[in-house]
Structures are given as structure tokens and as C-alpha cells.
Structure 1
Amino acid sequence: MAHLENDIFLRALLRQPVERTPVWVMRQAGRYLPEYRASREHAGSFMDLCRNADLACEVTLQPLARFDLDAAILFSDILTIPDAMGLGLYFETGEGPKFKHTVRSKADVDALPVVSSGDLDYVMNAVRTIRGALAGRVPLIGFSGSPWTLATYMVEGGSSKDFGTIRRMMFSQPEILHALLGKLADSVISYLNGQIEAGAQAVQIFDTWGGILSPTDYAAFSLQYMSRIVAGLKREHDGRTVPVILFTKNAQFNLSKMADSGADALGVDWTVDLSKARELVEDKVALQGNLDPAILLGSKDTIRSRVAAVLDSYGQGPGHIFNLGHGITPAVDPDHLKVMVDAVHEISPAYHK
């Protein structure tokens, strides 16, 4: 078993006793950090940054140099799998990710390969490089987009406001969408297992757009495929359990179903109190979250009081990982994130006595 100086994050994911609440932040290596912006400029483009193992390692470690965080998360993008399928991922300033080719028909789906971890060697190289650089300081989180979320980008051709094209496919040609989601699920299984083999000590599935679905459609088109992924993952590696986190934004109506997915933890956004979320999942899984990212734009006193409120909402006992309810935004002052992290360290031990 590889030595790990700080395993509080992994213990909390497994609902084991901890001395305080662990904390990390979604998108913690990002544009709010001036050092990240310098690294990205040096790389030339976002994807060049992702594809360079040394630079991906550099930006992954940047927030750990500033803040007392309990985990690092691989620097990459959720759309690496569709890109490896040949759809031609590119980014336009101010418009987000786009694809040169879309998936709209049975023939389009049939033409897609199932991606293996070997098709994304640059990600595996980044994982190995980061694990080496961390030297057991904190665990490394690997991740992927969920099949549903990946499919929204592939069918729409990029970001969307109303998801009209994929909704039309879902209700008029569901068999085509299910075939696409099945290929994506198999690809995510291989991709995440590759990350685990390369050194990721926990993995998170980001289902950013699952919350746009009704509970019935969420179960059919999102959750069943994430459950399939969880069942296909290597849950033991290097002498340790590899915990799995599911995060669906706006999932408050689906949390009880998610708790039966086989995952160890669920990410929770800020639209539901953790006390209610804990009631819904019946302590079957750990909960991660759920400070509104916009709170970090407020005063330092406000940040501290809201951190205290989140901790109080979860209450006593193990199974809570402090995080934002979604990714940190570019306008946040890094000093404000430090206030949040320090407040978690200061306030949370009282909930673990």
C-alpha cells in the first residue's frame, strides 16, 4: 500500500470516523488563480494544457500550495471521451466547448468507437505524473463526465440553453439515445479504470446536466448508466478501497434513488439543505457539498457564517466532505477561498467528537 500522509478525505467518503470535516473544491485549479492563468497562457490553449502532463501536474498542485486542502483533483476536461471518439473538440472564447461533428442519427452512433483508456494516454500520463509529484501528501481524484452529460454536448454540438435537440431524440428516437449512452458508459468504465490503475485514489462522475430531466427520465437516461459505470469500476487498488462520488447538479428530487446506485458518496448542490439530503439518503452514502459558490463573492464574515451553517446542517458524525455546490467561479478572490478552507478546519472538529 502506497504511503498517504493525509487520508481523511478517503475515510470520510467511506463514512469512517474522522477528526474534522475534509475539504476540497470543484474546479479548484482554475481561472480564479493568477498562477493558473499564467500556466494556461504558457500552454497556448486549454487542451494543450490538458495534454501536457507536466503542465497538467503544475496546475493540479497550484491550489495545494495556497490552501490546506485534503485532496487534489486531476486537471483535465469532461469532454475528453467525445474528443477521443473523433468528434473534434474545440473551444471558442466566451462560447465554451464545441464539436466539429455532432451525433444525430443511428449511423452516427454506430460509427462511434468505444473509447479505451489507451486512447487517452495523455490523461493517464497526467495521473501518473501528479501522483508522483504529490508523494503521498493528499489523495488524487480522477473524474469523468456522465454519459448523459457527455451526450448533451455530442448531440447539441456544444453547450445549450434548452437542450432541444437531445430532448427531441429522447422522446422521438429513444433507442438511438440509449445506444449512444451505452457506448459512453462502456467508455467511461474503461477511462476511469485506467485512471485508477494510473494512480487515482477516488473518482467522481460529473453529471452536470442530469438535473434538467424529470425524475422518470433521469432514472432512465442518466442514473441507470451511472449505476452501470459504478458496477464496472475497480473498487480496490493498491491495497485501498477506491471510493466513487456521483454529482448531479439540481438532483434534490433524485437523491434517494442515487443513494442506491452503489456509489460511496453523492455531491449535493446548494439548492437543498444537507440536513434534508441526509434524511433522503438515510445515511447510506456520504455527502459532499454544498456551499453556494456565489458566497465566496461576499464578505469574509459572510463566508465564515455560511460555512458554519453548512456544517451545522449536516450535523454530527462522519460522512461529510465539505465542498462548493458547483465549481468555483473565475471572479472569486483566492483569499476568500482561504477563508472558507480555514473556517472548515476551525469549526468542523466540534461535529466529530
Structure 2
Amino acid sequence: MSLPQLKNDTLLRSFLRQKVDYTPVWLMRQAGRYLAEYQATRAHAGSFMALAQNPELACEVTLQPLRRFDLDAAILFSDILTIPDAMGLGLDFVAGEGPRFAHPVRTEADVMKLSVADMSRLQYVFDAVSLIRKELDGKVPLIGFAGSPWTIACYMVEGQGSDDYRLVKSLMYSRPDLMHRMLEINAETTALYLNAQIQAGAQAVMIFDSWGGVLSDSLFQEFSLPYTKRVVDALIRHNDGRQVPVVAFTKGGGQWLEDIVTCGADALGVDWTVNLGKARQRVQDTVGFQGNLDPMTMFGGEQAIRSQVRRVLDDFGPVGAGGHVFNFGHGISRFTDPAAVSILVDEVHTYSPQFHTP
């Protein structure tokens, strides 16, 4: 299928540290519960999984924020837990409680039963990617994504979100061999999954290591980072005549930037605890950066939003040989007023050109 040519490639070029005229912006979870139109579409679908597994509805939700805001990218509406669901763990979203797996991975027998997911079970995701690319008509790039092998393993073992990661860390400490086997399977599956998204039309991909920061030093380097690197090493990096940027985001991983940069990603996402200017110095502008406004800023009123947006841009400083994509340091809160998002996007676009040399 012939896909429309891209009209605004500012985001892709920023990830690759190429010259642009302003700092592009998109927001993690920009298609989601803070939008009334999302809530209506979700109610029509009947459940989160019914929404995510319907390419037409997933496309509609992906496009909704772009109708409201002058964003520089769309991100596929899906979930990082589609992979373990395709492995047969039985994903469901319980109202008020979040994701749950019917068959968590807790024992040696559970681990030994795991195998690389059949990509045909995820065809609904790839169909959504192709449809979104067609409907975007080249307006902005489409970002695909997946969870990191470690983050996916946390959910697989815990069976749901966790406050203390007791079950997954118990397995990691008591049977590291089983944890490594699970991570190897996750890494292979994730690479296949992201490559299929790229082949379907995703123009950049992001790996969310949302729970990498719960590991201690040295264990992050053993159980998370090497498997993210395996995924990155296996990815298609050129498609449709241009480079496909890869972004790696470890929440709580600011202390490991020098290590994370070795995974081979083109850009690193960082949370709001990181100073972007110092981060650039630490990695000597060898990668681009994405981030890193605190999502709670959105509840401080217009003056606070504009002030904090400027602070983030000031922290990064003159772009020069670097690359900066503005974003939150984690996902947008469901309670955010959409009017606050309009203020944020306006401030990024109006204040940032001074940091880009003519």
C-alpha cells in the first residue's frame, strides 16, 4: 500500500539531531481519558480491549488529540501489554484497578511454557498503524511503541501493577535463570512486534521501560538494559526511504544515562527529575532527548504552565548539535483540562524557535 508523504518531519529530524526551526512537541498518553471524545469512543467500544483491538476505533482515538492541538506527532493508541496478551496470559482491564492477567507467570513451569508470540495475534495493531498512516495523510509522523522486556516481565509476573514488585523481584533474586529466559523471549517478541509496526507504517518507535527505575544499580544493567539493547539492535532502522528513529525511555533512570545511551537508541526519554542541559553534557550530545515537564504542572494555571515550559526549554538550551522533542516526563494525567494542553503546545511553539539557529 502506498502511504502519503510526510509534510511535517520536524519530530523525526529532532530525534536524529538534525536542524529544525522549532522544538516539536507531543505528549505521552495524548490520546486518552482527559479528552471527552475519547471517553465517548471508549463507552461506544464497551471496553478498553474492544477499543484497542478495533483498528477503526483505535485510529479514531489516535487522531482525536490532533484535531484539538497543534501537535507534531501522533502516537498509536494501544497498550504495552498487548504482547503478553498475545502470549496467552489473558489480559483484561478491570474498572478502577487497571490491567490484570488471568494467567500470570509465577513458577518454573509457567516460564518454560512461554514462547515468542505469534505476530498474527497482533494483526489488529498493525492494521491500526496502516489505517492511521492513511488517515493522517502525511500531516505529522506516527510513533509506534512497545514496553521494554523488563517492564513487560514485571506485569507478567505480578499479574497487574505493583507497589513493591515483590513477586517479580523474588523470581529475579531466587531464579535469575528463569528471569533471563523470560526476558530473552520478551526481547525477541518485542523486536518482531516493533518491526511489524514499522513495516505497517510507524515512522518512529519508542520503547517504554516504565519500571526500569525500580531496579538497583547493577541489576538494571543485568536485567533491563541488555534486553532493551537486544530489541534496538534487531530493529529496522530505515523504511520508506528514510531513517526510523528509536527512542528509549526509562522512568527513574536518570542516574544511568551514560549506560542507557549504549543501547543504541537515537534519543532518550527522561523523566522530570533530570536536568536536560546536564544530561546533554553527560552524553556529549551523542543522542537526542525527549521530555521532560512534570505532568502535574498542568494543574498550576496558565502562568505556571508557560513558566515551566520555558524552564524546560531553557534547561536544554541552544539546540546546536543536540536534538530536543518536548514532552512530559511521564504520561498526562486523566484529570488534565484540555485547555491546559493548548497553552503548553502554544508556549513550546512560540518560545522555542530562539533556541534553533537560523
TM-score category, normalised to shorter length: over 0.9
TM-score normalized by the length of structure 1: 0.99
Match of 1:262 in 2: 264
Per the TM alignment, residue 2 of structure 1 is displaced from its structure 2 partner at its CA by: 5.1
Match of 2:48 in 1: 46
Match of 1:293 in 2: 295
1:51-62 aligned at under 5 Å gives the runs: 51-62=53-64
Per the TM alignment, residue 222 of structure 1 is displaced from its structure 2 partner at its CA by: 0.5
* 2:178 counterpart SS class: helix
Match of 2:351 in 1: 347
What whole-Å deviation, never above 9, does each CA across 1:191-232 have from its counterpart, x for those lacking one? 000000000000000111000111211111011000000000
Amino acid at match of 1:320: H
What whole-Å deviation, never above 9, does each CA across 1:286-342 have from its counterpart, x for those lacking one? 000000000011110110000000000000014000000000001100000110000
Instruction: Quote the Cα distance in structure 1 between the aligned partners of 2:284 and 2:109.
Output: 44
Match of 1:309 in 2: 311
* 2:77 counterpart SS class: coil
Greater mean deviation of Cα atoms: 66-75 or 115-124: 115-124
Amino acid at match of 1:319: G
Q: Is residue 334 of structure 1 aligned with residue 338 of structure 2?
A: yes
What whole-Å deviation, never above 9, does each CA across 1:29-65 have from its counterpart, x for those lacking one? 0100000000000000001000111100000000000
Q: Summarize the Cα distance change of 1:246–1:192 in structure 2 as closer, same or farther, 3 Å threshold.
A: same
Amino acid at match of 2:143: I
Per the TM alignment, residue 113 of structure 1 is displaced from its structure 2 partner at its CA by: 2.2
What whole-Å deviation, never above 9, does each CA across 1:130-183 have from its counterpart, x for those lacking one? 001001110000000111000001101111110001111111100000000000
What whole-Å deviation, never above 9, does each CA across 1:59-81 have from its counterpart, x for those lacking one? 00000001000000000000000
Query: Of residues 158, 161, 174 in structure 1, which corresponds to 2:160?
Result: 158
Are the equivalent residues in 1 in contact too, given 2:4–2:134 (CA < 8 A)? no
Match of 1:87 in 2: 89
Instruction: Quote the Cα distance in structure 2 between the aligned partners of 1:114 and 1:257.
Output: 27
Instruction: Quote the Cα distance in structure 1 between the aligned partners of 2:355 and 2:120.
Output: 44
Are the equivalent residues in 1 in contact too, given 2:4–2:137 (CA < 8 A)? no
4+ residue stretches of structure 1 with deviation over 2 A? 116-119
Match of 1:190 in 2: 192
1:119-268 aligned at under 5 Å gives the runs: 119-268=121-270
Identical positions, percent: 57
Instruction: Quote the Cα distance in structure 2 between the aligned partners of 1:173 and 1:89.
Output: 25
Q: Is residue 103 of structure 1 aligned with residue 99 of structure 2?
A: no
Per the TM alignment, residue 117 of structure 1 is displaced from its structure 2 partner at its CA by: 2.7
Per the TM alignment, residue 91 of structure 1 is displaced from its structure 2 partner at its CA by: 1.3
Greater mean deviation of Cα atoms: 115-124 or 81-90: 115-124
Matched residue count: 353
Q: Is residue 284 of structure 1 aligned with residue 263 of structure 2?
A: no
What whole-Å deviation, never above 9, does each CA across 1:262-305 have from its counterpart, x for those lacking one? 10000010011111211222211000000000001111011000
Considering only aligned residues, what root-mean-square deviation do their CA atoms show, in Å? 0.9
Per the TM alignment, residue 107 of structure 1 is displaced from its structure 2 partner at its CA by: 1.8
Gap runs ≥5 in structure 1: none
* 1:266 counterpart SS class: strand
Amino acid at match of 1:126: A
Instruction: Quote the Cα distance in structure 1 between the aligned partners of 2:120 and 2:141.
Output: 23
Per the TM alignment, residue 119 of structure 1 is displaced from its structure 2 partner at its CA by: 2.3
Are the equivalent residues in 2 in contact too, given 1:116–1:190 (CA < 8 A)? no
Are the equivalent residues in 2 in contact too, given 1:116–1:191 (CA < 8 A)? no
Amino acid at match of 2:337: D
